[in-house]
Amino acid sequence: MEITRRRLLVLLPAAAVAWKYIQAGTPEASPNYKLSEHWWGMLIDIPKCIGCGSCVRACSAENDVPDGYFRTWIERYHVPDWAIERPEVESPNGGKDGFPPNQSTGKNFFVPKLCNHCADSPCTQVCPVGATFVSPDGVVLVDKNYCLGCRYCVQACPYGCRFINPKTNTAEKCTLCYHRITKGLTTACAEVCPTGARQLADLKNPSDPIHEFLKTHSVQVLKPHMATGAKVFYNGMDGSVR
Amino acid sequence: MQIPVEGFMYPNEVELQWSVLIVLYPFITGLVAGAFILASLERVFRVRAVKPTYRLALLTALAFLLVAPLPLQLHLGHPERSFEMYLTPHRSSAMAMFGFVYLWYLMAVLLLEIWLDYRRDIVLKAQSTSGLTRVVYRALTLGSSNISDRSLSIDDRVGYVITLIGIPSAFLLHGYVGFIFGSVKANPWWSSPLMPIVFIFSAMVSGIAAVMLLYMASTKLRGKEIDIRCVDVIAQYLFYTFVIDFSLEMVDLLQRIYEADESFRSLDFMVHTRLWTSQVIIQILLGTVTPIVMLGLTQVVKMSEAARKRIYAIAGSLTVVGIFAMRWNVVIGGQLFSKSFLGYTTYKMGFATREGLLTAIVLMLLPFAILWVLVKLLPPWPDATSHASGTAPAHGTT
């Protein structure tokens, strides 16, 4: 086809519209963010958590989490000194509205929970189409445009971190606020925590304070016998926590 | 809808993920695998006595296999994406292989074997019928109308090889379903290397019992005499398979009780409360011990034919109910307790919902409707075969 001036005038606007369309479909760029330079996790300092529920509310608002479902939640433990294997645990509305005053004596503490962003995550292993995956920077994510909604990943998570979003009918979970951390921000939950009980940790960044903390404190992960390579580290965690 | 919770559940655990439809999935595939194994008894292991059920078993397997993916499809949040499992399967996923195992079993084993076995009848029907029926049978010949002795002997040999391949395939189909559950390390109720083996044997039990019942009921409906030697042998195989199945389940149970690991207290409580009726009463007492004792009695006590038939009918029905209860207890039971081992939730089944009771009933009736069509199209009765061969030359010459 010969390109005449008249044809060019027709083609150029069409090409511009097409280009705009292509651009709209590409993800937002984070020019200063290099996937290979990060390996994300989180530090939870249990003695610092006061169970105020700010983190749950912030997460819910930031990520449009449907009511009754939780990307993060807080549990309150009461451990009788004679039965470490049978703690009394509660999490009314995921701790979103805080907790009623505690009358019981003995050991009481709060445990914030979220996806452990496991390096060897059983949830990504079982996904039949690979819609959930570990990103190169160590965050377990779900592609909601690809997820079948078979719920196998929900069954496979030992920590109860996943749910099916009733609006999208796909699996959903904590993304470690991926849209924030790739732009140099911290997670919504860590941002609002009044006591600093939650701290985003970049395990590949040598200047991240997590390294000094891990060197000087005894930290644990949840259910270590599951061998999932969990990357949410708990400081001061009681043996009764599960 | 408020779901009653006892103790502590992780907040996202309160709602059950897998419904009654996922109970149907292993139940239906189990019937398929079991029916096929029964058919192979005649074909491969030369158990001639069960010949009257051979074709019925194959058609039963096909009718149920055609329905097997439906409960999964209805359960998916995005059924329109299910084809992605074929296009981009995730190789580390136990579930990703479902489509391939299913297709292999349907296309390479069951359809081929049925077609080869019925080819002669189909060709004869295509020659002897007229109108739309003729078109259907002509289409079913797939253009192959050679029914010379040599050709039929090739059919027979190829059919034999397919059955040989079919036996491990049937094991694969249902063992694989067991593996989907048995490989979930997060769930101690499911996580067991015995799960695939228990699933295979329970599949054999349910499939054999279902075909036995179908044979007895259909023979009665046709006003014919039940071949007692045939049902005697089937009942015998049902008894032996059931004893192995029950022993495996008991080994698993004993191991769990003796080990009493961190999950034991929680699971034990669940069995004694929420699962008491469905597991202890229906599955174990009514659906396993009773039929085993009944079938065992027929092996050691001399009984009249009528009494034996009655016992087979009752024991067979209880067996199918028991295996359904077993699937229920595996799938639903595995979701009633918290992975924190500190609490329990409740399963609320809807009625006229996508995953409700009505859907489950329709899905369970559908294979029988399909079987009815298949039986009309391809009569599996021994007398139908002899009739066809008797009329063959006459039609062949016209």
Is pLDDT of A218 > 70? Answer: yes
Chain A residue with the nearest C-alpha to that of B18: A151
| CA distance linking residue B177 with residue B200, whole number of Å | 9
pLDDT number for residue B117: 94
> A75, A150, A241: which to substitute to probe chain B, counting the most B Cβ within 10 Å?
A150
Going by C-beta distance under 8 Å and a sequence separation of 6 or more, which residues neighbour residue B258? none
Residue of B96, B99, B26, B98 whose CA lies nearest to B64: B26
| CA distance linking residue B88 with residue B78, whole number of Å | 16
**Are B76 and A148 a contacting pair at CB < 8 A?**
yes
pLDDT number for residue A83: 78
Set of chain B residues whose Cβ sits within 8 Å of the Cβ of A151: 17-18, 75, 77
CB burial of A193-215 (b: ≥16 within 10 Å; e: otherwise) equals beeebbbbbbbeeeebebeebbe
CB burial of A139-166 (b: ≥16 within 10 Å; e: otherwise) equals bbbbebebbbbbbbbbbbbbbbbbbbbe
Beta strand spans in chain B (E): 6-7, 343-344
Is pLDDT of B389 > 50? Answer: no
List, as ranges, residues 234-293 from B with C-beta within 8 Å of A.
Answer: 262
What domains can you pick out in chain A, each with its CATH number? 37-235 (3.30.70.20)
Question: pLDDT band at B390, cuts 50/70/90?
Answer: very low
pLDDT number for residue B385: 54
Answer whether B191's CB lies under 8 Å from B184's CB: yes
pLDDT number for residue B384: 61
| CA distance linking residue B42 with residue A231, whole number of Å | 56
Question: pLDDT band at A28, cuts 50/70/90?
Answer: low
Cα of A30 to nearest chain B Cα, Å: 29
Set of chain A residues whose Cβ sits within 8 Å of the Cβ of B11: 69-70, 73, 91, 93-94, 160
**Are A127 and B90 a contacting pair at CB < 8 A?**
yes
**Are B342 and A122 a contacting pair at CB < 8 A?**
no
Answer whether B49's CB lies under 8 Å from B232's CB: yes
Is pLDDT of B304 > 50? Answer: yes
pLDDT number for residue B396: 34
| CA distance linking residue B386 with residue B120, whole number of Å | 12
**Are B18 and A151 a contacting pair at CB < 8 A?**
yes
Question: pLDDT band at B68, cuts 50/70/90?
Answer: very high
For the segment B72-80, the average pLDDT, to the nearest whole number, is: 96
* Residue with the two structure tokens 């002897």: B128
A 10 A CB-CB count for B296 gives: 14
Name residue A141's amino acid. Answer: L
The alpha carbon of B262 is separated from its chain's Cα centroid by a whole number of angstroms, namely 34
| CA distance linking residue B63 with residue B38, whole number of Å | 15
Mean pLDDT of chain A: 93
Answer whether B152's CB lies under 8 Å from B120's CB: yes
pLDDT number for residue A84: 80
pLDDT digits (tens, 9 = 90+) for B153-178: 999 999 999 999 999 998 888 899 99
Name residue A116's amino acid. Answer: N
* Residue with the two structure tokens 């433990």: A77
Is pLDDT of B386 > 60? Answer: no
Q: Which residues of A fall below an 8 Å CB-CB distance to B?
A: 69-70, 73, 75, 85-91, 93-94, 113, 122, 125-130, 146-152, 154-164, 168-170, 226, 242
Mean pLDDT of chain B: 93
| CA distance linking residue A68 with residue A66, whole number of Å | 6
pLDDT number for residue B392: 37
Q: Determine the 3-state secondary structure of B10 from DSSP.
A: coil
pLDDT: which is higher, B39 or A14: B39
Set of chain B residues whose Cβ sits within 8 Å of the Cβ of A154: 12, 17
Beta strand spans in chain A (E): 40-45, 72-79, 88-90, 107-114, 132-134, 140-142, 163-165, 170-172, 198-202, 219-220, 232-235
The alpha carbon of B137 is separated from its chain's Cα centroid by a whole number of angstroms, namely 28
Which residues make beta-bridge pairs with A142?
A132
| Residue ranges in A64-116 assigned as alpha helix (H) | none
pLDDT number for residue B393: 36
Q: How far is CA B16 from CA A124, A160, B113, B335, B337, in A?
A: 20, 12, 40, 6, 10
pLDDT digits (tens, 9 = 90+) for A142-201: 999 999 999 999 999 999 999 999 999 999 999 999 999 999 999 999 999 999 999 999
CB burial of B85-109 (b: ≥16 within 10 Å; e: otherwise) equals beeebbeebbbbbbbebbebbbeeb
The pTM score is 0.90
Q: Determine the 3-state secondary structure of A118 from DSSP.
A: coil
Size of interface A-B (CB pairs under 8 A): 120
Write out the DSSP string of B72-115. Answer: HHHH-S-GGGTTHHHHS--TT-TGGGHHHHHHIIIIIIIIHHHH
Question: pLDDT band at A26, cuts 50/70/90?
Answer: low
| CA distance linking residue A153 with residue B181, whole number of Å | 12
Query: B151: part of which helix (H) or strand (E)?
Result: helix B149-182
- Tell whether B331 lies on the interface with A, counting CB pairs under 8 A: no
Query: B206: part of which helix (H) or strand (E)?
Result: helix B195-221
Lowest mean pLDDT, pick from A82-96, B164-178, B379-393? B379-393
Share of chain B above pLDDT 90, in %: 88
Is pLDDT of A22 > 90? Answer: no
Cα of A91 to nearest chain B Cα, Å: 7
- ipTM tops 0.85: yes
Q: Determine the 3-state secondary structure of B367 from DSSP.
A: helix
Name residue B275's amino acid. Answer: L
| CA distance linking residue A214 with residue A29, whole number of Å | 33
Q: What are phi and psi of B262, to 5 degrees?
A: -60, -25
pLDDT number for residue A56: 98
